[in-house]
Amino acid sequence: MLRFAQTADSIAATTKKLEKIRLLADYFRSVSVDEAAVAAVFFSGRPFPMWEEATLQVGGSLLWRIVSELSGRSEAELTTAYREHGDLGAVTGAVLPDRESPSHHENWSDGRPHPSKAGAESTPTAIQQAFRSIATARGPAAKGALVRQLLSSISPLEAKYIIKIMTGDLRIGLKESLVEEAIAKAFGVPVKNVQRANMLLGDIGETLKFAAEQRLAAAKMRLFHPIGFMLASPAESAEDALAYFQNAWVEDKYDGIRAQAHCSGDVVRFFSRTRDEITESFPELPHALRGLPRDAILDGEIMAWSYLTEEDPPEGLEAQASSPVQSKSATGRALPFGALQQRLGRKKVSEKLMRDVPVTYVAFDVFYAGDELVIDRPLRERARILEQLLAEQKPPHHRDTEAQRRKISSREPQAKLDFSFQAETSRGSVAESRGPMAESTLPTTADVRRTTNFPTTDDERHATNLIRAPVFQASSPAELNALFDAAQARGNEGLMIKDPESFYTPGRRGKSWLKLKREMATLDVVVTAAEYGHGKRIGVLSDYTFAVRDGDRLLNIGKACSGLTDAEIAEMTKWFLDHTIEDQGFRRLVEPKIVLEVAFNNMMKSDRHSSGYALRFPRIVRLRPDKLPEEADTLARAVELFKSQGH
């Protein structure tokens, strides 16, 4: 592990991309293939391959205490070191006493051989075995004991990078794309072949082994090994979006959790963008995708979904009735992300919670069907494959709302927006998605068949849990803006604009998919606390907690660290240091005099802040030196914006 750490230090010391690649390639060639494979995972900033379910579950506070104990440094001394170095790994390397490896420890507390016992240097493979012991240990005490043993057995330089790996960021200017290039250089293979193999395998270490053995062409996608999602680039406006394609395919941009559905007969598992399995949090969803005619991997979004009741029809019913984003009937609408949060991270979900926060899976793409990888097919072909998979699904099955959509579309006055995607199914039926409605033609409450607030039969429940994302078409900014307004009326974030000829590129962000969102009205807020940054913002107060007014009180509502220039942050740091109320080490409570204008995607209820609300993805628009704290926005204004989201 010492050579790994020395190489990482050398990589951190240069800003030249080619030099970083050369240093890493030289390291890969200098060690065995097995060691290089594990090191490749470490150089990507992870203790385990992304597809693995193992997690260390060791919090920063526990690591902080252990480093304090092993170094003999006080809290104040560690805080000073953190301000200088900017991350706990670098602090660890600076404060731990020098020691020789191997350690005096002969075995782990669980009886397994200590990683340093086998030789003069702990290897990446041995360190990963130690990580696995930590991952399987139960409780902070057991995990802490293993971490202490590990850090006690190695040099400060090794400890520096072990902590960095444990916290998930090496901070040496090395992305996984550069690791791919280093693998290509080390083993004399084309970079594009390494990239494709890594895309399919979802494991940079295994990709290295394939490259070393000159068999990258044999890499194949595997079920239940999640890979990267295709990502969209932001579009500033409808005009900006349509500059890339003349005839765009358009879908709603959903405010949920992006999820891959890996399906094989009755076995269905869901994986998030971080490639963590999330099936346990949504136990009703696997039923909705069982019985597909072939093994498949789908791309889609898990959303919280509200059903209509005769007793309590939701606000905006007429707008929702026109939504083509429907399951077996034209009832219900998307709920805000805040509702979905109640389902996240739970290993056991009660029937009550499933009733209180129903969810649905909105499928919009497919990249594996049967034994065929379809990512190299254009979107329009993948859409046909997806339609056929869902149409041929065995009961309980996806049901289309064709009858309701025909009723709606018969009154559609906007011919240019009238786009149908049709796929003949084995049963001879047609699945359609049509354009948005003009307000004057929206169905009334009487047009919508009411249902109970939760499906009562298994067939109803499973059908409702699966929606095929509707597809629209737009060729002008006016059409795109109309679609945008309709999407927001349905409770969705905005639009996804896609090239129908585009291939699926896992883990890549390009211009084939664009996302169009509009920020809510901004809030003027007061800074109440400032925290030290990390990385390039070591030593400056760059992360700001801010509040809205409620009478004479200031109630926190969010935290932002982006939007200001380096010069503005330096100026603010000086001001905050001079106007600190309480120095808490990393964080300073400051005099509430600085007003910021912040933008955000939306709001949710939250116990994290004293206001009871939290802004999602807040960004600082500008400093407002022209405003006094008394002129900042109020909690009432924030609640007004919250309600405008449809709450």
- Enzyme catalytic residues: 253
CB 360 within 8 A of CB 284: no
| Six token digits for residue 582 | 């309480």
| Omega cis (within 30) before 102 | yes
| Residue 352: alpha-carbon gap to chain centroid | 27
Beta bridge partners of 300: 259, 363
d(CA 468, CA 523): 36
Whole-angstrom distance, CA of residue 357 vs CA of residue 350? 11
Alpha carbons 608 and 371: distance in angstroms, whole number: 46
Calculate helix-pair angle for 75-85, 60-71, nearest 10 degrees: 110
DSSP class per residue in 48-99: S-TT--------HHHHHHHHHHHHT--HHHHHHHHHHHSSHHHHHHHHSPP-
If one counts every other C-beta atom within 10 angstroms of the C-beta of residue 251, the result is: 23
Count of C-beta atoms within a 10 Å radius of residue 254: 26
3-state secondary structure 456-469: CCHHHHHHHCEEEC
Q: How far apart are CA 376 and CA 484, in angstroms?
A: 29
Count of CB atoms situated within 10 Å of the CB of 300: 26
Distance CA 123, CA 506 (A): 32
- Cis, bond preceding 358 (omega within 30 deg of 0): no
